Structure 1
Amino acid sequence: MTSPTGPVAAEQAYAFTKARILSGELSGGQLVSEGAIGAQLGISRTPVHEAFLRLGAEQLLQLVSRKGAIVRPMTPTEAADVLAMRRGIETSAAGQVCAAGGPSERTTALLRENLERQATFVAGSDVDGFVAADDDFHALIVEASGNPIAQNFYEQLRGRQQRLRNLLLRIDPANLASAHSDHHRLAGRLIAGDRPGFDAALVEHFDRYQGAI
């Protein structure tokens, strides 16, 4: 089997390393070796170095001369900043949805299906599955606004949001049930077209993250 080279190998190294950082498998402060990543993927250090440069630009890694890189910890300040931006985007998106009379039948069905999936992950204490469903849930709210600018900003925050979710939900698995309950309230308020109720529920939801970081 031929190993990937050039841009393909660099993209593979980038996706592999980023996923491990966002999941918490590579924790803040941990030293990551270009050689070790290359060995795991069966590629040379050159594309791994290119991937590390890209992750450094995204402030997920801090490059260390001749050693590789150190995973940047998510600080309380960074976590608060991410939540503040999320609150702005989601509040605005929900406002547009409510002004239009509520979400479409399709979005309503997708929100309910998502909540059912979340319940399954809560019952099985499946953090990875719940984190993915959590991300999909909030993305559906932003998508329902039909605002491409809001969706673009949300996408830019998505990686940091995933890292924050993994951090919170692995600190205390009991947060899975609490987050699921929050999501039920958020969906209910959005479907009812209740913007003040949605905004209040979102503040409470994000306060739960703030208290854990």
Structure 2
Amino acid sequence: MTDSAADRVYADVKEQILTSALRGGDLISEGEIADRCNVSRTPVREAFLRLAAEGWMRLYPKRGAFIVPVSDREARDVLDARVLIESHAVRSVVGRPEELADLGRALADNLERHRNADLSEFAVLDAEFHQLIVAAGDNALLADMYVSLGERHRRMTTTRLHRGGAVADQIFADHEALAATIAAGDADEFASGLAAHLSGVHDIPGGPR
């Protein structure tokens, strides 16, 4: 019973972090989460320990749990890794016409679903767009590495979307342009376009390294 309750609390709090319902810098207590999830403090404590071990929060005895913000270093590291993996995938798929066409159709479907999505769904679709590209590269090891970046990617995108402005429009326009360079089989243009896209959306001066 305790384990399943801890899993439920873990999933609930982590989803709040990924969707920016809990933002970097927030301080939460075991008591408030226990009340919200209708559980005792024991499973909350277990969930907090797991989230802290994964780097999402820091625990302070008698004070609560501090939601760790995304640091500039972490953001740049995530973007660097994404550029390397996605660019490799595109260089691989452009030499396989049938797979390239399949990817083009999948990206077009993804873009169509972007149009009427709310902010949370938009962030999920954004992650899916890039995961489709990596999957098309047909390298299981790199695909697994990319999945490990997915939650951080989603959190970063959701954070930017919640700041308002025209970020969603920028992402959509950039995705259309990236899909076009893939359809044209221009891997070099994709790589430079992706770096510019990530730098602009996530406000990283100078872009990925």
TM score, norm. by length of structure 2:
0.91
Aligned to 1:158: 150
Aligned-residue offset at 1:209: 2.9
Q: Does 1:33 align with 2:29?
A: yes
> Which one of 87, 90, 94 corresponds to residue 83 of structure 2?
87
Please list every run of 5 or more consecutive structure 1 residues that lacks an aligned counterpart in the other structure: none
Indicate how the Cα distance of structure 1 residues 169 and 212 shifts in structure 2: closer, same or farther if over 3 A, else same. Answer: farther
- State the number of aligned residues: 205
Residue 103 of structure 1 aligns to a residue in which SS?
A: helix
Residues of 2 paired with 1:43 and 1:97: CA distance?
A: 49
Aligned to 2:63: 67
Please list every run of 5 or more consecutive structure 2 residues that lacks an aligned counterpart in the other structure: none
State the Cα RMSD in Å. 1.7
Residues of 2 paired with 1:70 and 1:99: CA distance?
A: 47
Letter of the structure 2 residue corresponding to residue 53 of structure 1: L
Q: Point out the more displaced range, 85-94 or 14-23.
A: 85-94
Contact 2:157–2:202 under 8 Å retained in 1: no
Runs of 4 or more consecutive aligned structure 1 residues displaced over 6 Å after TM superposition: none
Residue 66 of structure 2 aligns to a residue in which SS?
A: strand
Aligned-residue offset at 1:137: 0.5
Aligned-residue offset at 1:210: 4.1
Residues of 2 paired with 1:58 and 1:99: CA distance?
A: 38
Residues of 2 paired with 1:74 and 1:50: CA distance?
A: 23
TM score, norm. by length of structure 1:
0.90
Aligned-residue offset at 1:187: 1.0
Residues of 2 paired with 1:131 and 1:173: CA distance?
A: 15
Residues of 1 paired with 2:110 and 2:165: CA distance?
A: 19
Residue 120 of structure 1 aligns to a residue in which SS?
A: coil
Aligned residues with identical type, % of pairs = 36
Contact 2:160–2:202 under 8 Å retained in 1: no
